[in-house]
């Protein structure tokens, strides 16, 4: 029986003590992508199953083995998104975004669902940040998107990561290449896994990213697609490399990168970390010039990438990068008695209007227990409010770190905290 009091296998809870790390990373990613003109798009977590079967490809691992598919109460086949591109492009077409200025530049961030064997860096619910750039065919677009990937990784604090690129050509060069692959694998048919045996006829390139050790061993010496590029694809790839060279972006051509999804054409790339073990690809992407037309739109060249946020955080952790912690509660007001409790609520409301995190007792605790609570949550300041404070309109603002107390006027509490905070920073900065 499933353990109903445990999160499902391959999923993680993001706890309050860690959520600041995600907020930091997501803010950085969105704002850096904004510098390149990418605006956020949010699409449903689920789509009609066909969106993925047709476009990710029915001979891919994702579609054959990994999708969370179910029939809804209206008898529709629905799938939780295993990736974003197919759904985002569905939305771009449905909402005619290409009718406005081209290129359309969108970015996204959210959960993806794949029924995989959970292990380090491989989850069943994971999160991706990615971008799609629609309506740009030139090598400059590839280089811009790749350089955005590099800058995003740098901006979130990743110190060392390598970029590998390849070209997997277009349907024209792919036809020749498929012939060569079929010839190569034909003699080894019996050794391939069942899935790859079926792939041999329909989509032999998929054998190259099979995870079975036998298949990957055989695939090692298979012909490389980069040796079969047509003149246009070769010129495009040379153009991409020239742009990357010009921008000073380091890369390595790796003829073995084919990517696991069918829609890719021409340029494909991965950012790979040496720090997080076997699941080392933090970001993967490429061009998918045929996808929009395949999905029923006017043809538009396009490209994008997706990065796994969990893997990105794993790299930051292995580097020992400290993500800036949010500040603690600014002030805890500890009231004694009914009148003070009322006053504390109004003081807190006024302080929050000024942008302070102000908390007070909503449990009905005695003074000692309240002070223990203030300590636990790391309140910067506390203020005890009893009858004499209410009468005089004055109270002692206590800085918890040092125990130092300053008398303040209750109706100027916000100013007092500003001043005290400023004094503290001046102290720390020695100015
Ligand atoms: P892999 O080869 O590791 O299975 P993939 O080619 O299936 O990766 P993509 O579909 O290109 O991955 O997804 C882009 C990124 O999303 C990956 O580079 C990785 O960072 C992240 N990712 C993919 N699958 C998972 C997963 N199951 N758990 C965590 N992150 C994942
Ligand atoms: Mg995978």
Q: Whose CA is nearest to atom 6 of ligand 1?
A: 260
Share of the chain above pLDDT 90, in %: 91
pLDDT score of 1 more than 90: no
The protein residue with its alpha carbon nearest to ligand 1, atom 21, reads 308
Using the atom order of ligand 1, give the atom closest to the CA of residue 123.
28
Average per-residue pLDDT for the chain? 95
Mean per-residue pLDDT, 229-236: 97
Ligand 1 atom closest to Cα of 308?
A: 20
Q: Which residues make beta-bridge pairs with 113?
A: 125
Residue of minimum CA distance from atom 28 in ligand 1: 122
- What distances in angstroms separate CA 72 from CA 47, 69, 78, 79, one per listed residue? 11, 10, 7, 10
Looking at the predicted structure, is the pLDDT value of residue 427 above 80?
no
Other beta carbons within 10 angstroms of residue 266's beta carbon come to 25
Give the residue whose CA is nearest to atom 29 of ligand 1.
122
Tell the residue number behind the tokens 């990065």, with chain if given: 307
Give the pLDDT confidence score for residue 33 in this predicted structure.
Answer: 98
What pLDDT score was predicted for residue 424?
A: 77
The yes-or-no verdict on residue 430 having pLDDT over 90 is: no
Rounded Cα gap, residues 232 and 176, in angstroms: 15
Atom of ligand 1 lying closest to residue 312 CA = 20
When pLDDT is averaged across residues 275-289 and rounded to a whole number, the result is 95
Give the ligand with the smallest distance to the CA of 259.
1
> What is residue 431's predicted lDDT score, i.e. its pLDDT?
66
Q: How many Å lie between the centroid of ligand 1 and the Cα of residue 299?
A: 27
What gap in Å lies between CA 220 and CA 304, rounded to an integer?
27
What is the atom index within ligand 1 of the atom nearest the CA of 116? 27
Determine the Cα–Cα distance for residues 312 and 323; give it in Å rounded to an integer.
13
Smallest-distance ligand from the CA of 130: 1
User: Residues enclosing ligand 1, CB less than 6 A?
Assistant: 83, 114, 116, 121-123, 126, 128, 260, 279, 281-284, 306-308, 310-311
Kindly report the CA angle at 104 between 102 and 108, in degrees rounded to 5?
175
Per-residue pLDDT tens digits for 357-414: 999 999 999 999 999 999 999 999 999 999 999 999 999 999 999 999 999 999 999 9
Six token digits for residue 33: 């992508």
What does the pLDDT read at residue 331?
98
The Cα–Cα gap between 283 and 99 comes to 30
Pocket test of ligand 1: the residue of 14, 82, 304, 308 to mutate, having most ligand atoms within 8 Å of its CB, is 308
Which of residues 187 and 407 earns the better pLDDT score?
Answer: 407
pLDDT in tens, 396-407: 999 999 999 999
Average confidence (pLDDT) over 314-327:
95
pLDDT of residue 157: 96
Residue 429: predicted pLDDT: 77
**pLDDT the model gives residue 268:** 98
CA distance 410 to 402: 22
């Amino acid at each position: 029986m499933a353990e109903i009091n445990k999160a499902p296998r391959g999923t993680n809870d993001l706890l309050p003590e860690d959520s600041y790390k995600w907020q930091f990373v997501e803010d950085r990613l969105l704002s850096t992508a904004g510098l390149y003109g990418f605006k956020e798009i949010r699409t449903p977590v689920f789509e009609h199953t066909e969106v993925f079967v047709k476009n990710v490809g029915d001979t891919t691992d994702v579609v054959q083995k990994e999708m969370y598919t179910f029939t809804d109460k209206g008898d529709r086949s629905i799938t939780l998104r295993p990736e974003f591109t197919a759904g985002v492009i569905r939305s771009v077409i449905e909402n005619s975004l290409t009718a406005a200025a081209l290129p359309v530049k969108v970015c996204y961030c959210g959960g993806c669902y794949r029924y995989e064997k959970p292990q380090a860096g491989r989850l069943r619910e994971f999160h991706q940040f990615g971008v799609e750039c629609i309506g740009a065919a030139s090598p400059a677009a590839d280089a811009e998107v790749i350089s955005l990937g590099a800058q995003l990784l740098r901006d979130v604090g990743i110190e060392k990561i390598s970029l590998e690129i390849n070209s997997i050509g277009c349907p024209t060069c792919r036809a020749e290449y498929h012939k060569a692959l079929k010839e190569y694998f034909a003699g080894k048919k019996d050794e391939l896994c069942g899935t790859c045996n079926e792939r041999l006829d329909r989509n032999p390139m998929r054998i190259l990213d099979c995870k079975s050790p036998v298949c990957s061993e055989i695939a090692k010496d298979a012909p490389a697609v980069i040796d079969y590029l047509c003149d246009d694809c070769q010129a495009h790839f040379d153009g991409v490399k020239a742009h990357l060279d010009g921008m000073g972006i380091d890369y390595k051509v790796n003829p073995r990168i084919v990517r696991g999804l069918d829609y890719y054409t021409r340029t494909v790339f991965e950012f790979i970390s040496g720090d997080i073990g076997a699941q080392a690809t933090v970001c993967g992407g490429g061009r998918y010039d045929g996808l929009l037309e395949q999905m029923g739109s006017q043809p538009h060249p396009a490209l994008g990438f997706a990065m796994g946020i969990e893997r990105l955080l794993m790299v930051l952790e292995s580097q020992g990068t400290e993500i800036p912690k949010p500040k603690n509660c600014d002030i805890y007001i500890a009231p004694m008695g009914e009148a003070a409790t009322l006053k504390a609520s109004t003081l807190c409301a006024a302080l929050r209007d000024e942008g302070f995190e102000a908390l007070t007792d909503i449990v009905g605790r005695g003074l000692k227990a309240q002070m223990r609570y203030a300590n636990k949550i790391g309140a910067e300041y506390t203020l005890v409010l009893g009858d004499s404070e209410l009468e005089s309109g004055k109270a002692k603002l206590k800085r918890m770190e040092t125990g130092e107390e300053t008398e303040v006027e209750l109706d100027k509490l916000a100013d007092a905290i500003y001043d005290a905070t400023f004094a503290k920073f001046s102290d720390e900065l020695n100015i």
